[in-house]
Amino acid sequence: MRKIVISAALSLVCTSAMATQMYRWVDENGVTQFSQQPPAEDQYQRMQVKPAPELGTGSLAPDTDSPAGEQTESTESAEPAAAAQPTPEQQAKLAEQCDALRANLTTMQNNPRLRRTLEDGTVERIGEDERQAMIAKAQADLQEHCQ
C-alpha cells in the first residue's frame, strides 16, 4: 500500500513538471493541434503555460493576450452587441469561477489561520493584514464579475 501511495504522489509531481511546455501547430488538414512534443516537420508555435492563480489572487477577467503572431480579423468589424454577449461555454466557465471564488472567500473569512506552500516546499502562515487584503480582493472580484 505504501508503494502505491508513493508512486501515485511521484506520478502527480512528474505530470505537473512535464506540462510546463506546450506546442501549437496546424496540420495538413487545417486542424489546429496542441501537444507537449513539437511536430517533426511542421512549423509550430510555443505556448506559454501559466500556473493556476494563488488563493484569492486570480482575476476572473478573460485572458485577452493572444499568442504571438495570432491576430483575429473579425475583432474590428464585429458588432459591439455581439461582442458583449458571452457564449454559453463562457457563461458556464464564469459561473464555475464565481463559485470557486465564493468558496475561497468563505474559507478566508472563516479561517483566521491560513497558510500557503511556497515554491521551495516550505509552508508559510498568512498574516492577518494579508488575509484581510485577500478577502477585500475576492469581494471586489465577486462584485465586479459575478453580479
What 59-63 contacts at long range (C-beta under 8 Å, 24+ apart), as own/partner pairs, is 59/141, 60/94, 60/97, 60/98, 60/101, 60/141, 60/144, 60/145, 60/146, 61/145, 62/90
pLDDT digits (tens, 9 = 90+) for 11-41: 766 555 555 677 888 888 888 888 888 887 7
What 116-120 contacts at long range (C-beta under 8 Å, 24+ apart), as own/partner pairs, is 116/54, 116/55
Pairing of strands 45-48, 21-26: antiparallel
Of the ranges 21-35, 46-60, 76-90, 113-127, the best mean pLDDT one: 113-127
pLDDT digits (tens, 9 = 90+) for 87-117: 888 888 888 889 998 999 998 899 888 888 8
pLDDT, position 76: 43
pLDDT class for 62, splitting at 50, 70, 90? Answer: low
Does the pLDDT value for residue 141 go beyond 80?
yes
Alpha helices by DSSP H, listed for 19-147, are: 74-77, 80-84, 88-110, 128-145
Does the pLDDT value for residue 85 go beyond 90?
no
pLDDT, position 133: 92
73 contacts 53 by C-beta, under 8 angstroms? no
**Distance between CA 134 and CA 140 in Å, rounded?**
10
